[in-house]
Amino acid sequence: MGGLRTAGAVALVVILIAAYMSYFIVDERKKALVLRFGEINRIVEAPGLYFKLPIADNVVQIEDRKVIWETPDYIVQVVDGRRYKVDTITVARIADAQKFRQTVSADLTRARMRIETRLDSALRQTYGRRSFDAALSKDRVVMMQEIRDQVRAEAATLGIEIVDVRIRRTDLLDEVLDDTYNRMASERKAEAADLRSKGEATKTRMIAEADRTYTERIAQARKQSEIIRGEGDAERNKVFAQAFQQDPEFFSFYRSLQAYATSLAGKGTTMVLNPDSEFFKHFGAGESKSTAPAPVQ
């Protein structure tokens, strides 16, 4: 009787163990591969409670959500020889669980290593055809699409879909950064020197133009003044001529007075002339019989 109870207890335990090993649960974040003696028997993609053969079947859980891989400090070189660091973010998901199992044994770490190797190559190829400025311009979006398309081909062979590849950061290496700063400083200094030289040339040209304008206007003013003075002198001579014609004796007397005022204007002026000189004709000096010269103060 005791033996029957023992056998029954053992049978119950075996049944419970078999029942425990006969079911598995798949939640909404996973897929399940049911392997029978190491070969894929079926793929379970919907969440729920499922059954399997104890011992013969083995269940491998596979991530069904999108995974994000951050890969910092890729060293790449552009067409002008400068090198810089690139940080990327890759968004992927397992699209073909069977192929994922067959190629990388459903190991996400191995799959990531292979994809990152292809990503490194894609970065070098894409950036190697462009200048550094292109990575900082609107061409950056096109470059990310090119990199994504190249990585997708490799990931598809692993049963993985590459949703997107983004370039998060692009920095020059420290030594290249110093060279770039020095080059930019030299370019700015050269540009400043060029602007200063252009400014000096403009200044010189403006001064020359101002001097020329000043000279031209002075010459024009002098010309105009000489014309006006000539016209005035002509008018004066015309008036004098008319006056001379009307009273020649008075005109002679007037001109003699002007000559006296001009000749004797200075202080201490001494003139030695013959008394009967024409210069003193209006003073009656010509009637004197003396021939001795008379000093005039």
pLDDT, position 158: 92
pLDDT, position 279: 67
pLDDT, position 67: 92
- List the one residue out of 71, 56, 57, 168 whose CA is nearest residue 119: 71
Spans of the chain, pLDDT less than 70? 1-3, 19-20, 135-136, 138, 176-177, 264-269, 271-297
Query: For the chain, where are the alpha helices, taking DSSP H only?
Result: 2-20, 97-104, 108-128, 139-156, 174-246, 248-263
Cα dihedral 28, 34, 38, 39 in deg (nearest 10): -110
Amino acid residing at 64 = D
pLDDT, position 70: 92
pLDDT in tens, 44-99: 888 888 878 887 878 888 888 899 999 888 888 888 777 888 899 999 999 888 88
pLDDT, position 211: 92
Instruction: Classify the phi-psi angles of 106: left when phi > 0, otherwise alpha if psi is within -120 to 50, otherwise beta.
Output: left
Domains and CATH numbers, the chain: 2-63 (no CATH), 67-172 (3.30.479.30), 247-296 (no CATH)
DSSP letter, residue 267: T
pLDDT, position 294: 44
pLDDT, position 283: 62
- List the one residue out of 31, 34, 12, 38 whose CA is nearest residue 23: 34
pLDDT, position 49: 83
pLDDT, position 292: 44
Give the global pTM. 0.52
